Amino acid sequence: MRNLRVLRFDHALPPRLMQFRVSIRMLAQALRPLTGRFLAWKALPFGVRLGLRVAELLVVSLSIELFMMLPMAVYFHRVTLLALPVNLLIVPFLGVLLPCALLTFAGLLVWPSVAFIPGTATAAILHAVLRIVSIFAGMHAGDMRIPMPGIGTVALWILLAILAIYAVRMQRFGLSIAGAALALGAAIIVIQHRMTRRIGQLEVTAIDVGQGIGCW
């Protein structure tokens, strides 16, 4: 979408992207008499870029959330179904948080008396992020405790993950198959399983945290 009016950039793109770029250029040319030059050649490409960025964030966040279901269930016995909306809400804050934190650090080194200005902004953004996370963490879907998946469930999830990775490389229906495989893999992890118990025997689960042993 950058330099949309420069035709020579089209030839460096794959055919589908080149066709998409040409379509957006034709749309901008049709809108120019109605909306003006700025909206047609500046606002329209910016809106398309923004939409593509948001779509990319959605796809990446959802893929990671689905793919991490098994490790979360195995190592922490819990999963979250709200990581996607949380990421959408806090990523813009994190994009501002890091520059504010760097400004605070630089201010402390150069001019400590004014470092409270970026420091205040940093604290406000950090508290907002923590508040958003705590709200979603308090929901049942934000912190679902599940028992250890069985061997069959783990094996099926691995096969579905391999299918998803292979399907991404397919030219037709690849993304649809990959998404369905990841969604099915996440579903078999989230579905409640019965906990394995040994009747009449005392069971002790110990977690080594490095500095001590906690027992339940």
Going through the chain in order, the beta strands assigned E by DSSP cover: 78-79, 144-145, 206-208, 213-215
In the chain, the largest separation of any two C-alpha atoms, in whole Å, equals 82
Q: Residue 122's closest CA among 147, 148, 103, 141?
A: 103
Give Cα separations from 102 to 38, 39, 107, 187 (angstroms). Answer: 35, 35, 8, 41
Q: How confident is the chain (216 residues) per 10-residue block, as mean pLDDT?
A: 84 87 90 85 90 86 84 84 79 86 90 87 90 80 78 89 88 84 87 70 76 52
In single-letter form, the type of residue at position 72 comes to M
Residues 157/188, Cβ–Cβ less than 8 Å: yes
How is residue 207 annotated by DSSP? E
Residue 159 is predicted with a pLDDT of 93
Q: What is the C-alpha separation between 46 and 38, in angstroms, rounded?
A: 11
Residue 124 is predicted with a pLDDT of 92
Residue 35 is predicted with a pLDDT of 85
4, β-bridge pairs: none
Residue 210 is predicted with a pLDDT of 65
Give Cα separations from 42 to 5, 7, 206 (angstroms). Answer: 11, 16, 60
The CA-CA-CA angle for residues 49, 52, 57, to 5°, reads 125
3-state secondary structure (DSSP) of residue 177: helix
Residues 53/88, Cβ–Cβ less than 8 Å: no
**Quick one: 174 exposed, middle or buried, by C-beta within 10 A (0-12, 13-18, 19+)?**
middle
